[in-house]
A and B are shown apart, each in its own frame.
Chain A
Amino acid sequence: MAKGSIVAGCLAPHPPHLVYADNPEQNEPVSEGGWEQLRWGYERLRDSLKDVEYDVIVVLSPHWQTYVGTHFIGVEKCASKSVDPVFPNLFRFNYDLTIDVDLARAIHDQAKSEGMSVKMMENPDFRVDYGTIVSCHMVRPEWDKPIVSISSNRGLSYYSVEVMQEMMLELGRSTAKAIEESGKKCLLLASNSLSHRHFVTETNPPEDMSKEHITSHAMHLWDMRMIDLMRSGKSQQIINEMPEFCEQAIAESDGGALTWLLSAMDIPSQPATLHGYGTIIGTGNAIMEWPCHTWGEQ
């Protein structure tokens, strides 16, 4: 069996506003548009991936928050309605997706063998979190690829950014090893924004772009710094600066997804492609792609 591989890693933020603005038929609410810079960024990402062959999407979402270890969905068919508890006016999405349980379990088992606290989620009534759904939908709206859904273990909440990163670095290594042994080609998604300070009021309509901007200049500076590091292939520096970034930008990478992604790609020195940047209700969002399939053997 040929070795499995990561064909690309993406930073794929999940604000439901993007699905809302795209008006797909699975989503009940409708809009007049909005957040085009990010939606067109996702278009560019999809275009970049259209000729890349892969078998499964592996996504880590900060909106499945677990405190007792890292969890993996272990139910093959998941179909229900996802309603965002924070923006229910924007996101009421009927989903019907397939989980690659074999790969999920392989990552679970590998992480467990490395001493991590992990658990398979096998309750058929479980609802998939909206972060996973938004990121997967924006990257692959056809929903024709199975996914692996990984929870966000809140290591930061219990310990520190440093401990969280140690856990996510290990989870990334376990993910890469399990993928390699599976023989599957995988697209990895870190489902998170960058700076994450929201406005606490909403415009009417929500897609009024005359009111959309970053919440503060400091947040903008942090977002640009992180994007520049990604574009320069300075992954290790991102990890080094993560504690300050999380604290000062209230960054959503505190959920571990970005660190996990960088680790799975072996802390790449290759540059990432910026497909789009924009703010959503004040938070900073970048769509980035590390095109691992072009890198060859390391």
Chain B
Amino acid sequence: MMSGEIVKSLIVPAHPHPVLCPEKNEGWQNIRDAYDEARRQIEESDADLIIIYSTLWPSVIGHQIQADPNPEWVMVDADFHDLGSIHYSLRIDTDFAHAWNKANISRGLESRTVAYDGFPVDVGSVVALELLNPDNRIPAVICSTNVYSNRSETTVLAKACMDVVKSQGKKAVAVSVMSLSNRMFTEPIEPHEDRIHSLKDDEWNRKILEFLSEGRLEDIGQLSRTIHNQIRVKKVVAFKPMWWLSAMNDNRNDLTGEVLAYEPIHGAGAAVVVLNPESNGTGDKEYDEDDVEFYGGDRDVLDSKGDEPAIQVSNSGPALYDPVEGKNAVNTNKAPKPVGAYPHARREGDLIYLSGVGPRQPGDNSIPGGPIKDKNGNPLDYDIKAQTRAVVENISRILEEAGSSLDKVIDVTSFLVDMDRDFSGYNEVWAETLGKIGPTRTTLAIRALPTPIAVEMKVIAKA
């Protein structure tokens, strides 16, 4: 439980030249060699999953995730069809694909899986997997880029992905398939004529690579819009892979980076970059973007979300309050709003006292596992394990805001509204999480809680 992680992150180019004709240009061969080096590094790691976010697979209906266990076809590039064809036969981790899709929906995103014979896997994903994983030793998953998504949506997409990486205990490689500057020559050129399209593009590319070699991924994420305006052709998909990749790495700025190659491909900036999670020892980030956990954008414009949304947002219950500020108060927008005038926590001496914490989610107030009753008071089926996990995650967020952490919890009082039904599931999640830390615990059966939830915890932790 909670043992998965990103073992390596990659930025790789999408054009087919390194697959089909590396020998025609020294730079294309350098890219091919760098791809091969990245493949060796992946093989030497204990990676068991490759996650592809490709800018060359645009989507409109939210995000799409490939879920065909073995997509096979022949890929021909729309522009560079004269270079030849790539026969692909990929191995997809369908369990992960479906779980990611479910996690997306749980976090408020529009999302669906695709599994159709003949589906045209995009050139970027084909090129990346052909070179990084030619024998399909490691299963992969591929996600589209929504043409309308902003940073919030892209960040939540990554967090949903990480939910599954952690819950399935994956050792994953995260791959952004993209060019840096993407301005190509608009006329055919001879291979020996290839160069970065303009000096300005080249200077920006080198600045990006300087940041990445220093492990400053989040800085690139925050510069994304500027970079897009400076060196990107206005295609439908912007420079958003850096948002995704940064969020996959907890928006860190202290990764260990290595630029394996930087070369032109038909004028565009092609680079192979490896980012490892080991800290380079420098300071971390100044994170000044909204750090959203759930997507609450205008994605519900058709008033239809399908038959069975994975979570149901409670539209009943008491009014919500902004948490009370004051001396020693600890409050965070990463925890659900209180149902009364109190703070999320108070720090007193060396101890932190948390107000009762339930599973409601910050932002949309939804309840993982579903509410226990509808707005008319009719009982609903719900998942006590999902609710309990959400409680523990909320506790963790509040403690982190206080400068503490989950492993410093020393005493918990739990409240269940249906002891007979829920104790077993609650106890199982407890054993997987707080039970491993070992705080004292008291569990009480109560008649009701203010919102339609089944479990709440009162926590005391060390600061």
User: Which residues of A are in contact with B by a Cβ distance under 8 Å?
Assistant: 64-69, 71, 80-83, 85-89, 92, 117, 119, 121-123, 125-127, 151, 153-154, 156-158, 198-204, 208, 211, 215, 281
Contacts and interface: CB of A to CB of B under 8 A. Distances in A.
B395 to A, nearest CB: 33
A125 B76 contact: yes
Contacts of A68: 79-80, 184-188, 266
Contact of B184 (A67, A89, A122, A204): A67
A87 B302 CA distance: 17
A162 to B, nearest CB: 14
A153 B188 CA distance: 13
B118 interface: yes
B279 interface: no
B119 interface: yes
Interface string B219-236: 000000000000001110
B192 interface: no
A87 to B, nearest CB: 7
A208 B266 contact: no
A199 B302 contact: yes
A154 B78 contact: no
A86 B186 contact: no
B61 A202 contact: yes
B85 interface: yes
B446 interface: no
B302 A92 contact: no
Given A200-B62, A204-B306, A85 B188 contact: no
A201 B118 contact: no
A201 B184 contact: no
The winner among B81, B114, B188 for most chain A CB atoms within 10 A is: B81
A200 B299 CA distance: 6
A204 B307 contact: yes
Given A65-B78, A68-B188, A157-B234, 11 more contacts: A68-B186, A69-B186, A69-B187, A88-B116, A92-B118, A198-B148, A199-B301, A201-B110, A204-B304, A204-B307, A211-B304
A200 B79 contact: no
Contact of B119 (A85, A117, A121, A200): A85
A123 B85 contact: yes
Nearest to B235: A157
Contacts of B291: none
Contacts of B301: 199-201, 215
11 contacts: A67-B79, A67-B233, A81-B118, A83-B120, A92-B118, A123-B76, A156-B234, A158-B186, A198-B60, A199-B301, A201-B304
B120 to A, nearest CB: 5
B57 A126 contact: no
Contact of A123 (B58, B61, B81, B119): B81
Interface in B228-279: 233-235, 266
Contacts of B60: 86-87, 198, 200, 281
Contacts of B74: 125
B392 to A, nearest CB: 32
B76 A126 contact: yes
B303 interface: yes
Contacts of B184: 67-68
The winner among B60, B187, B188, B307 for most chain A CB atoms within 10 A is: B60
B306 A211 contact: no
A257 to B, nearest CB: 16
Contact of B117 (A66, A81, A117, A151): A81
A62 to B, nearest CB: 11
Nearest to B57: A85
B187 A127 contact: no
A281 B116 CA distance: 22
Contact of A66 (B79, B116, B235, B307): B79
Nearest to B63: A200
A208 B114 CA distance: 21
Contacts of B148: 198, 200
Nearest to B187: A117
Contacts of B289: none
Nearest to A80: B118
Given A67-B184, A67-B186, A127 B76 contact: yes
A120 B114 CA distance: 32
A64 B81 CA distance: 12
Contacts of A154: 233, 235
The winner among A127, A151, A281 for most chain B CB atoms within 10 A is: A127
Contact of A200 (B80, B120, B146): B146
The winner among A92, A126, A215, A281 for most chain B CB atoms within 10 A is: A126
B305 interface: yes
The winner among A67, A117, A123 for most chain B CB atoms within 10 A is: A67
B63 to A, nearest CB: 10
B122 A85 contact: yes
Given A67-B184, A123-B81, A201-B110, A83 B61 contact: no
B86 to A, nearest CB: 9
Contacts of B305: 201
Contacts of B186: 67-69, 117, 153, 158
Interface string B99-121: 00000000000100010111110
